[in-house]
Structure 1
Amino acid sequence: MNNKLYKLMNWPEIEEIIYSDGDDPHRILGAHKVGSNLLIQTFYPMAEEIEVVPSTGTKKYKMELADEAGFYAALVPYKEGFKYKYRIKLENGDIKEIYDAYNFDGRMDREDFIKFNSGMHYNIYEKFGAHLMEIDGVKGCAFAVWAPDAARVSVIGDFNDWDGRVNQMRRVDHDGVFEIFIPGAAEGDGYQFEVKTKGGVTFKRPDPYGYAFKDKESQVSKITSLGDIKWNDSAFIKSRTKFNRDSDPLSICELSLESFAAKHKNHIPDYEELAKEILSYVQDHGFNTIELKPVMEHIQGHPFHITGFFAIQNKYGDPVGFKKFVNIMHEAGIRVIMDFVTTFFPKLQCGLNSFDGQALYEYPDPRMGVHPRTGDLIFDFGRKQVTNFLLSSALFWVSTFHLDGLRVADIAKILYLDYDRKPGQWIPNMYGGNENLEAKDFLCNFNAVLKQAYPGLLTLTKETSCWPRVTGELDDGGLGFDYKWNNGWTKDFLDYIQNDPLFRSGNHNELTFSLVYCYTERFVLAFTHEEIGKGLEGLYDLMPGDTAQKMAGVRLAISYLMTHPGKKMIYMDPNELSIDNAVFLENMIHSLNEIYYNRPALYQIDTNDSGFEWINSMAAEECMMSFMRKGESDKDMLIIVVNMAGVDRTFEVGVPADGKYYEIFNSDDTCYGGSGMVNPGRIEADFSEADGRPYSIPVKVASSSLAIFSYTPYTTQEKKIRKIREEEANNKMQEREKTLRELKNRQEKEEAELLKELHERYEKELAAQEEAIEKKYEQIEEERISSIVSEAALKSISGGKKTAAKKTATPKTAAKGQKTAASKSAVKKAPAKKTTRKTSGTKTSNTKTNKKDDNK
């Protein structure tokens, strides 16, 4: 090495490059003016020799090997705007020419750093990540990453033989932003960031802002341009602003791209092919919106474990393909909502987890940063750069792919610090409470930013902890979401319907409870992938009974969802059920959606109780209920009758007004696979009270079925005819009541006369019986007394013979004794009422006897 060159080189700094310990390689590598010359230095360990080749002229400058590790240097005459590239001969003899990456400045400026560190750089995805571009006529890729705790960050990839020493990045901000422009890096090249910690540990990470991955494991990012298409949805995008979230119909088909792709056994369909297939499926069922399970790159089989928050699933194509997918849907008037995971990310050693060697995207304390049940990591919502990352991701998907809405995954996990945690496993907030105030602020800001940037965009969420005012307005203390899944309704209904019909009556309150709270939020009634898993087949598996009963249960469940207050969502899987059953259900769902869109009573007043009224909610034993859905006009009223019992029933259903009622839907119709127990034709209200209402209609409802009846008021002419009929009916009723009264009076009179006659006959018979009894008693007593007297007389004669010698008794004494004995005996044996009279009789008889004896 020549002496002049040797003296110009800073050897401590060169060692920093060789050992890859620095964070500002640009101050050493590249071309730097030294007096009237340029000192050009590079570090390329795989090179055997390197030449500097100016862009103009034919002279080349051979670089000297300054260090055996592969550090080269050259001193060339200075020229303003000097451009050059390296001609490198590799150890294997290959020759390649590249421009010097350290001869280009970075793209990010101070304003970018301030906005990013404040959490307000909403299009930061345009700066971070990998972006193909051309600078000063040189094509390449600009890389940028945030890694504040890293000692050194390098880009490794197909363009530098995955050697982390070649393209070391420069720290351009004290808060940890690194960037570099690498000439020659091209579309499709794989790359990673190699991170070296302050402790000397080196590891590799994919790009958090990368647009695609090169491998299935989501470890290697791929340089990808977003591309563009000719959008044909400007009118559709404009129409979104007119959508009224309170009073317009919304029927969502939740689906998974994987399920539709699985139908293709011989090839993997691309986004455009999937779009056409899904569009046909959705239109056949009548939905006006689709909600896609995450289309971001994720762990295989776990769609909510996101590995690329800016990366489309390249399994089905590139970003251009997904743009075509959305455009096809919009051309057909179908909204596209995407599931968006902002609550957690998987604990992988190759993802966001400890990205720069320390907790960066997650909370550093595991009591806040690790979900105790699943082990997933929770985003650090108190760090502005992290919330900027999430907001930027949301805006990226909406702006790049024209999405119509985002559905945020279960926010209860981030709103509560003690979610799934035991005492001592969580940290209270600054006020001592269990609310994550940072997460709450993020969600509010999330909705505010999206709604301001894209009027008419819908945001939905699942929240299972009863956090108040999830769909409330931001300026009124709410979180600002448009809709919230009604998981309480779904759980209660499915718990009820899974019971055998014989035992459903004891759980009737599970059906009626939802109406207590259904107006506290703007709800979406949802049979989601979480509850029914395999779509309608999963719903079928939940039902009790045989095949026919199960299918009836499925039809009932879908019909009830479509008639209950709230927007609608059903998870659909194209590989469900048998062909026949699938066709029947397709017909029914399409019919229900048509009724839903064309009957304002089912959607117009969804957010307050004036759109719903119970007719009968108390028939638990019959497993029956009936209710009204009402729109802004009285004529929009619908009557819904539900029979959840296992037997067919006929009901007299109370209706609020006289008029004509038509059955517009019955889940038991044969065209839906039912038995055909329907109510055809016009049903005129009867002048008979039912359910506390003056009018009623007779309704037949099959087991496990639901019927919908429309209401049509009578015309003026019909009212006149109806009035005449009513008067005739009233006259007949009055005549009938008069006849009944006369018959009743006559019957009462006849009954009174008969009763009187019977009473008199009874009294006569009773008197005759008493007289006969009295005579009989007298006869019996006389015979008894006579017998006693005769007996006493015989004893007296016998006794007189024995005591004659003594001569102590006189006839008078004996008679007296007989008289006393006879009296006592008569008193003792005779009935009390007759005692006086019969004793007197006895006395007379005895006296007469004694007188005869004395005479003798």
Structure 2
Amino acid sequence: MIGQDDLYFFREGTHARLYDKLGCQLQAGGGAHFAVWAPNARAVCVIGDWNDWRPGADELHARPDGSGIWEGTVPEAQRGQIYKYRIASSVGDYVVDKADPFAFYAEPAPATGSRVWSLEHHWHDQDWMAKRRAHNALDAPMSIYEMHPGSWRRQDGSFLNYRELAHQLADYVRHMGFTHVELMPVTEHPFYGSWGYQTTGYFAPTCRYGTPQDFMYFVDHLHQCGIGVILDWVPSHFPTDEHGLAYFDGTHLYEHADPRQGFHPEWSSCIFNYGRNEVRSFLVSSGLFWLDRYHIDGLRVDAVASMLYLDYARKDGEWIPNRYGGRENLEAIDFMQILNREVYRSFPDTVTIAEESTAWPNVSRPIEMGGLGFGMKWNMGWMHDDLAYMHEEPVHRRWHHGKMTFSMIYAFNENFVLPLSHDEVVYGKGSLLNKMPGDAWQKLANLRALFGYMWCHPGKKLVFMGGEFGQWREWAHEGELDWGLTHDPGHAGLQRYVAELNRVYRERPALWQIDFHSAGFEWVIADDADHSVFAFLRKARDDAPPLLVVSNMTPVPRSNYRVGVPLPGHWREVLNSDAHDYGGAGWGNMGGLDTDPVRAHGRMHSLNLTLPPLSTLILEHTRHA
């Protein structure tokens, strides 16, 4: 099963499909073949249900090629049985039972064994797969609903399984108009409270919600409903649990031995040794595995900044410089470039997205141009600045006006996603709604105005579950969202507004077709700090007329507010966040208005607008004068 080419690419650090070679592979004639990388072991055996967990009953043998791979066939092994590797290290007397790093399925926590399993599934998403390049392209609309499977909805206090979740989530996401779902990590993790970010099973969807086939059904069903699926994936660190990757064969195999390189002080977890070629092959194979076997449409790569910087979260003297004396992790850079090159070579219709929080250049630029090769990058600067601005009382916003405009200085340096993610609604930060100032009405109005500004700002969109209807409390993984709020008129209005915002967004190429080039955006008013008003144009690639977006970030309605426009004639009010139907006060422009031949903002024609309080308006040119 493991050929010479496999060994070459494994050792080179570029093997992208080790999941077909290592781990437990069921055989057509019965039994299973086991293969595990443990180069510093003196003995390895498989213990499991079929041999009553007796050490030595099914010994594996080290390959004579020096690869460090131990392998063997066990005729008695059957699908569904639980197993581990008993590894006796050549270093000291260390003996440990390890879960299979390549296992496709695990037993429920707190148990830690792997299951003998196979990944057959009859897919029904052929139409989606044939057309998904258009859904995942840089010039496509992308409005992402980030969610945690265990706490979105529950049934009588229990988790929904993948199949139940598939139908309920697809119906909701389609109704709300989101184009993609982003799942917080579903890779197997022993501690539910880690939300999946402490992964032990890099090739196994968590069994908390069902079998691998159940998860395939989940992806399949969402695809049939026209919804893309992005997986949050964590190649930056892994937990120290004894059954996992840490100290795997009695040595620091997957992680660095020196804690200044191999231990993460913030997360109390191990850091992968990206300089070890076999570890790079393991991680690249994990990334490709989800795109290959589960038809996942994209990987959101977690904590990229922690991989890029050797001194990340460390004080002086707590880190080791690279060979040039710098703080850049050169081996991690190589790994990310290898990963992205292989993803886009093998699955060019998918996308990789970096969660990268610093000013590292060219994260989403081609490797040939010195970039990391990601398709997109989270815009953490936009998120921090806009939330800080919105947190201010409106009377003080005039002094913070630049926080809302600053993002346009660098908006086209990367292919950005604008994230309002789970990270912003935990650990005492408050929910999105509670970040807004004022009484309940003003909080909802502020959030509607922010969403409108965000959906029209260049960049793809992401909002965490609950934000779309104004969850009051912080997210808690122990229960479900407060769905009862959707029966309250104000929260139901916000929910309707987000659905309508998604519809307007998807239907108008000016809002997404040129997201990553300055040709798609033009300021009209960027300097009216005294009134906290912003106005800009969004443009499509063809000759379609632009959209005008105007935000009033104070609770003062402004009549006779003149805004210059590029075209004379009638401008229709496409969306008004202050409409009664969304819980607003109902201020507006009677559905649209005609231009006046009055110069304003460097343009020959202008609109005399009424700006509702705490609002965002979207207007489009419908006919010439």
Instruction: Please give the TM-score of this superposition, normalised by the length of structure 2.
Output: 0.93
In 2, distance between residues paired with 1:583 and 1:544?
20
In 1, distance between residues paired with 2:111 and 2:20?
21
Deviation at 1:526, TM superposition (A): 1.3
Matched, 1:187 2:79: yes
| SS class of match (1:259) | coil
Map of 1:167-566 to 2, 5 A cutoff?
Answer: 167-172=58-63, 173-198=65-90, 199-217=92-110, 219-229=112-122, 231-242=123-134, 245-260=137-152, 262-265=153-156, 267-298=158-189, 299-302=191-194, 303-533=196-426, 538-566=431-459
**Whose radius of gyration is greater, 1 or 2?**
1
With a CA cutoff of 8 Å and minimum separation of 6, indicate the structure with the bigger relative contact order: 2
Alpha-carbon contact 1:635-1:713 (below 8 Å) kept = no
In 2, distance between residues paired with 1:449 and 1:153?
32
Deviation at 1:235, TM superposition (A): 2.5
- Structure 2: gaps of 5 or more residues: 467-480
Alpha-carbon contact 2:134-2:140 (below 8 Å) kept = no
| SS class of match (1:706) | strand
Alpha-carbon contact 2:573-2:617 (below 8 Å) kept = yes
Partner of 2:513: 604
Alpha-carbon contact 2:10-2:281 (below 8 Å) kept = yes
Partner of 2:33: 142
Alpha-carbon contact 1:461-1:481 (below 8 Å) kept = yes
Q: Which amino acid aligns with 2:75?
A: P
Distance 1:592 1:537, change over 3 A: farther
Alpha-carbon contact 2:188-2:201 (below 8 Å) kept = yes
Of 479, 487, 509, the residue aligned with 1:579 is 487
Alpha-carbon contact 2:424-2:430 (below 8 Å) kept = no
| SS class of match (1:301) | helix
Matched, 1:133 2:27: yes
Alpha-carbon contact 1:227-1:319 (below 8 Å) kept = no
Q: Which amino acid aligns with 1:647?
A: V
In 1, distance between residues paired with 2:509 and 2:542?
9
- What does the per-residue CA deviation read over 1:265-315, in whole Å, with 9 as the maximum and x for residues that have no partner? 165432121100000110111011111111111121112111110111112
Alpha-carbon contact 2:523-2:536 (below 8 Å) kept = yes
> Which 10-residue stretch deviates more, 366-375 or 284-293?
366-375
In 2, distance between residues paired with 1:111 and 1:494?
51
Deviation at 1:324, TM superposition (A): 1.1
Deviation at 1:340, TM superposition (A): 0.9
| SS class of match (2:150) | helix
| SS class of match (1:254) | strand
Partner of 1:706: 616
In 2, distance between residues paired with 1:189 and 1:208?
16
In 2, distance between residues paired with 1:633 and 1:392?
40
Partner of 2:553: 644
- Structure 1: gaps of 5 or more residues: 1-106, 720-856
Runs of 4+ displaced beyond 6 Å: none
Of 682, 690, 713, the residue aligned with 2:600 is 690
In 1, distance between residues paired with 2:569 and 2:6?
68
Partner of 1:812: none
| SS class of match (2:209) | coil
| SS class of match (1:159) | helix
Deviation at 1:537, TM superposition (A): 8.4
Alpha-carbon contact 2:38-2:69 (below 8 Å) kept = yes
Distance 1:568 1:120, change over 3 A: same
> Which 10-residue stretch deviates more, 569-578 or 200-209?
569-578
In 2, distance between residues paired with 1:120 and 1:447?
11
Deviation at 1:582, TM superposition (A): 3.9
Alpha-carbon contact 1:336-1:405 (below 8 Å) kept = yes
Alpha-carbon contact 1:206-1:218 (below 8 Å) kept = no
Q: Which amino acid aligns with 2:142?
A: L
In 2, distance between residues paired with 1:377 and 1:524?
28
Instruction: Please give the TM-score of this superposition, normalised by the length of structure 1.
Output: 0.68
> Which 10-residue stretch deviates more, 214-223 or 657-666?
214-223
Partner of 2:529: 620
| SS class of match (2:363) | coil
In 2, distance between residues paired with 1:392 and 1:162?
29
Alpha-carbon contact 2:362-2:372 (below 8 Å) kept = yes
Partner of 2:470: none
| SS class of match (2:243) | coil
| SS class of match (2:334) | helix
- What does the per-residue CA deviation read over 1:188-234, in whole Å, with 9 as the maximum and x for residues that have no partner? 211111111221221211111111111313621111222222x2222
Deviation at 1:157, TM superposition (A): 1.3
Partner of 1:817: none
In 1, distance between residues paired with 2:213 and 2:333?
35
Deviation at 1:635, TM superposition (A): 4.3
In 1, distance between residues paired with 2:117 and 2:542?
55
Deviation at 1:109, TM superposition (A): 4.1
| SS class of match (1:508) | helix
Alpha carbon RMSD of aligned pairs, Å?
Answer: 1.9
| SS class of match (2:322) | coil
* Count of matched residue pairs: 604
Distance 1:688 1:242, change over 3 A: closer
Distance 1:710 1:218, change over 3 A: farther
Matched, 1:159 2:50: yes
- What does the per-residue CA deviation read over 1:369-388, in whole Å, with 9 as the maximum and x for residues that have no partner? 11222222111111111011
Of 11, 14, 17, the residue aligned with 1:123 is 17
Deviation at 1:690, TM superposition (A): 2.8
Query: Of Structure 1 and Structure 2, which has the larger fraction of its residues in helix?
Result: 1
In 2, distance between residues paired with 1:243 and 1:374?
35
- What does the per-residue CA deviation read over 1:227-252, in whole Å, with 9 as the maximum and x for residues that have no partner? 222x2222321212345733221111
In 2, distance between residues paired with 1:109 and 1:609?
50
In 2, distance between residues paired with 1:590 and 1:408?
27
In 2, distance between residues paired with 1:673 and 1:323?
39
Partner of 2:502: 593
Q: Which amino acid aligns with 1:579?
A: H
| SS class of match (1:587) | helix
Partner of 1:662: 572
| SS class of match (2:200) | strand
Deviation at 1:688, TM superposition (A): 2.3
Q: Which amino acid aligns with 2:420?
A: F
Alpha-carbon contact 2:233-2:299 (below 8 Å) kept = yes
Deviation at 1:673, TM superposition (A): 1.0
Map of 1:842-853 to 2, 5 A cutoff?
Answer: none
- What does the per-residue CA deviation read over 1:494-530, in whole Å, with 9 as the maximum and x for residues that have no partner? 0010111111111111011000000000101111111
Q: Which amino acid aligns with 1:649?
A: R
In 1, distance between residues paired with 2:147 and 2:408?
28
Q: Which amino acid aligns with 1:346?
A: P
